[in-house]
Structure formats: C-alpha cells, structure tokens
C-alpha cells in the first residue's frame, strides 16, 4: 500500500485493538509497524495479536513490522499500613529494606541495588515525579531523605533514580522469559527498556543472536550521557520522552530529542519519537493543537517514525488517532520548509563508496524526472544509507530476507519488497521495474534509479547506480531458474 508520507507510524496494540478487524483498520489507516507491549497482556494474547498481523501481511502481500517492547526492571515502593500517607515538603522520610508496612515517616524500598548506588544529594522520584525526595544520608539498607515535593504517597508506586547509574541489568527475569518467547514467535524488532550503558544492549544482542533487530529506548539520563556508545551497538533508537521528562527537567527534553534524532540520522539508524504524542485522543476524537504541533515537530526534525501508545492500545479512538497522525505527517511533508530542513540537516560526511553511490542517487533524483530509488540489500544497509539522504522520491528496498524487509518498515521513506534471488544486475533491474509498477503505478515513460552491490549478497558492497526506464518488456522478462 502506497502511503502519502515518508515518516512511519508505530501503533501499539492492546485491549482496544486486539481483534483482526481493528488491526486491519489500523493498517489501512496508516500503521506501518505494530508494537506489542510486553508490560501488558499475557503470552497467549501477544501470540494471538502476532498471528493476526502475519495473516494481514499475507492478505496485503506486503511486509509489516512487529516490535516487541520489553518491560525492563520495575522499581517500586513497598506498602503502607493504611494504603497511603500524606507527606509534606520539608519533612524527613526514610526508605529502607524493612518489610514492615510503612507510615508517614518511612516505607520499604525493596531494591538493595538502589541503596548500593545512592549518595547524599541524589534524588528519588516517586509516582512519575509527583513526590520528590532528596537523600541527606544513606547506607547499605537505608536512605534518610528530605521531602522536596510532597503529596499522597501510596502502595507500590514506581520509583525513579535519575542522578545515579544503578547496578541493574536492563533485562529482568521476566524480560528474559519474554525475550525467549518473542524470539520463538518471530518479531522483527526488540525494544529494550532501562538502558543505561552499551553493555545493556550487548547483553540483549547476545540472546537475540541476529533473529531480530535491537532497539534501545532512551529514557534515563545515563543513557543520554552515553548515547553515542549506545547508538553504536544498537540497530535503532526510541526517544522515550515520558520517562525522560520524569527524570530530567521537562524543558531539557525537546533539545535532547532534536539532538538524538540528528545523531541517529547521521548514523543511518532508524529513530522513533514516542510517548504522549496524541494523549488526549485516548478519550477524545480530536487532538489538541499542542499535540498536533508536537507530532509535526518530530517530523520536521527528521524522525523515522512516530508512535502511538495508549491512544491506539487502550483509547476510545484508535483508528482516528492513526488517521490524525497520517494526516499531520502528509501535511508537514508537503511543506516546502520541510524539504529545506531535510536538505540543511543532511550529513555531508562521505566515507565509503556506498555513501557516495546513495548520495549520487539522491542528487540525480532531485535533478531529473525520476520516480523512485530502488535499492537491493540483504542486510538493509543500502536502504538505510539511502533513507539517510532523505530523497524527495520514494525508496523501494528489495531483499530476499524476510527479517530485513519487515525491519525496514520502520525506516523513513522505504517501501520494502521481497524478491527472488539475484544472479546479475539485469535481474535487479527487472525486479525494480516490477516493484515500481506495482507500488507506484510506474508507466513505460517513467525512469527509476537502481542501486545495488556486486557481488550480490555481500554486505557493504554497494557500487552500482543505473537510471532505467520502466519498460513493459521488463515486466514479462523470464526470471532466472
């Protein structure tokens, strides 16, 4: 299905979007990748949604990406004798390992690793930052704090520790079970929560073993500080602004978002901007103007994808939310200013032959009447490099590898297509013409750019560029074998 925009849309599935009719409607409305949130739903529910997506994929005869989002470690308080307490700014409050129900002066924090890492002056944020505590003194089993922001504190509320790197692995025992499960299912992307350091990503990659692409969620200050190293070992990035906005001042998040998006684009790795993009559409069929501007800002920054969470998973208007996102994206990308921003933010670095070939393809497409850039890639690298250029024509990515095709559903401007094996460049041209006619309605008088690498099936070998006509005789050319 040809979209009327280049940025991709990720839709989270959940109670509001679990049946085949709704998931099909979300795809038709514009969802390119479906997110399975491992924090909600048991394995049988996740399996059922996965099967529906793969069935729709067969019906539409086009790859659909599936992203499994792991929950990550959850840090929570213990319980209070009365269920909750009121604490006031300026008072003392203790966190400790004692399982005795808490009161207005103390409560259990059943995470020894937090106490091992805390130092005086560090902050602890409770219930998404609604309660703010500052550590005055601490030891191996306690932290004496001053309440900086008070309010109601209650059972098992989440705790954030923004000022220190915690000695916690990004994968909990639940995450490991979930990871084994989704690898058996066959998802295309795995999103890691609670990433603090490159080693967290490498640990997951060792388990995944190339069976899926690994995406790091940037939701902690430690991850922002180590971003370059995390990006180097990740296949993609999610800017998870919700947790970033809890652990960092909210005014710091927009420049961080812009900086991370640009770094991902320079590295030719897809980046998703996520969290609360159309939050009001959980309950309303219309978004606020501020939300529309927020979605537009992510697109103007050059993000590969924008994501819906509760809006499509649990909201009352999931299809309308996807439709709204699609319409905003289409309108932004028609804006001449958008094209100027994409050109101005293009990386000038050309380090390899492949960089030069895809840059030349984009320049030719802009200077002549070319319908599309068609590239062949088993690993997806050529398509990623082409997308980094943000050309003004569609990118058709041809591959024989299902994982590559589905994973590229997350990449800006790319239409992934499964093809047969290649034996020579002429066959590549045949496949490219067929795909251009099927997806874009190319006619005989249209030209396309074909990019490939010889020898075929060799990563990083992109070295050929050809401008080819979409002649009818190529459609009926006998395929090899």
Q: Are strands 447-453 and 462-469 parallel, antiparallel or unpaired?
A: antiparallel
Angle at 292 (CA atoms; ends 288, 298), nearest 5 degrees:
145
Is 8 in contact with 411 (CB distance < 8 Å)? yes
91: which 2 tokens? 């008072």
Does residue 76 carry a catalytic annotation? yes
Is there a contact between 85 and 155 (Cβ–Cβ < 8 Å)? no
What is the DSSP-derived secondary structure letter of residue 361?
H
Token pair for 445 = 């008088």
Q: 354, exposed or middle or buried, with CB in 10 Å at 0-12, 13-18, 19+? A: buried
Residue of 3, 47, 76, 211 marked catalytic: 76
Q: Which of 8, 49, 217, 265 is catalytic?
A: 217
Q: Pick the closest to residue 447 from 459, 457, 456, 437 (CA basis).
A: 437
Output phi, psi for 79, to 5 deg: -115, 160
Longest dimension (CA), the chain: 81
User: Would residue 217 show up in a list of annotated catalytic residues for this protein?
Assistant: yes
The neighbouring-strand residues paired with 418 are 399
How is residue 102 annotated by DSSP?
B
**Structure tokens belonging to residue 70:** 């792991």
Q: Is the peptide bond before 109 cis (omega within 30 degrees of 0)?
A: no
Burial label, 114 (beta-carbon count in 10 A; 0-12, 13-18, 19+)? buried
Contact (Cβ atoms closer than 8 angstroms) between residue 427 and residue 479: yes
Of the residues 5, 8, 35, 49, only one is catalytic, namely 35
Residue 275 among the catalytic residues? yes
Q: Please confirm, yes or no, whether 35 is among the known catalytic residues.
A: yes
Q: Kindly report the number of other CB atoms within 10 A of residue 364's CB atom.
A: 17
Strand partners, 274: 240
In the numeric block, which tokens belong to residue 320?
Answer: 């309308």
Catalytic residue among 275, 381, 382, 462: 275
**Strand bridging mode 106-108 / 414-418:** unpaired
| Catalytic center residues | 35, 76, 217, 275
């Amino acid at each position: 299905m040809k979209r009327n925009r280049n940025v991709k849309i990720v839709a989270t599935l959940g109670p509001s979007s679990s049946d085949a009719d709704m998931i099909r409607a979300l795809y038709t409305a514009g969802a390119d990748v479906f997110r399975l949130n491992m924090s909600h739903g048991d394995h049988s529910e996740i399996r059922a949604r996965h099967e529906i997506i793969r069935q729709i994929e067969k019906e539409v005869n086009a790859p659909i990406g599936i992203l499994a989002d792991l929950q990550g470690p959850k840090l929570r308080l213990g319980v209070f004798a009365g269920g909750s307490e009121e604490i006031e700014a300026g008072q003392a409050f203790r966190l400790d390992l004692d399982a005795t129900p808490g009161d207005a002066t103390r409560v259990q924090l059943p995470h020894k690793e937090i106490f091992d890492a805390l130092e005086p002056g560090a902050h602890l944020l409770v219930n998404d930052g609604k309660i703010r505590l500052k550590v005055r003194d601490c030891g191996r089993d306690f932290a004496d704090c001053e309440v900086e922001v008070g309010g109601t504190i209650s059972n098992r509320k989440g705790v954030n520790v923004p000022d220190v790197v915690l000695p916690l692995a990004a994968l909990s025992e639940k995450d490991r079970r979930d990871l084994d499960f989704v690898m058996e299912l066959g998802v295309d992307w795995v999103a890691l929560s609670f990433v603090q350091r490159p080693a967290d990503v490498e640990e997951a990659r060792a388990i995944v073993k190339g069976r899926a692409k690994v995406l790091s969620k940037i939701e902690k200050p430690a991850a922002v500080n180590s971003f370059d190293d995390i990006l180097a070992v990740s296949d993609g990035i999610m800017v998870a602004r919700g947790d970033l906005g809890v652990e960092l001042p909210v005014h710091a998040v927009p420049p961080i978002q812009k900086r991370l998006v640009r770094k991902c684009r320079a590295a030719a790795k897809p980046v998703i901007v996520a969290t609360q993009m159309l939050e009001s559409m959980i309950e309303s069929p219309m978004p606020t103007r501020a939300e529309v501007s927020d979605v537009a800002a992510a697109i103007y920054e050059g993000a590969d994808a924008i994501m819906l969470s509760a809006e499509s998973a649990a909201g009352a208007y999931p299809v309308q939310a996807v439709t709204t996102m699609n319409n905003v994206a289409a309108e932004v990308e028609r804006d001449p200013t958008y094209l100027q921003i994409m050109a101005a933010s293009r990386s000038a670095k050309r380090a390899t032959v492949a960089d030069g070939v895809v840059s030349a393809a984009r320049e030719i497409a802009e200077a002549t009447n070319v319908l599309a850039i068609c590239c062949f890639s088993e690993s997806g690298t050529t398509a990623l490099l082409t997308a980094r250029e943000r050309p003004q024509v569609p990118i058709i990515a041809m591959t024989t590898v299902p994982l590559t095709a589905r994973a590229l559903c997350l990449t800006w401007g790319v239409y992934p297509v499964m093809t047969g094996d290649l034996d020579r460049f002429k066959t590549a041209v045949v496949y490219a013409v067929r795909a251009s006619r099927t997806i874009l309605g190319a006619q005989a008088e249209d030209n396309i750019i074909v990019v490939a690498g010889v020898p075929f099936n060799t990563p990083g070998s992109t070295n050929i560029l050809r401008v080819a006509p979409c002649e009818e005789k190529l459609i009926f050319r006998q395929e090899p074998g």
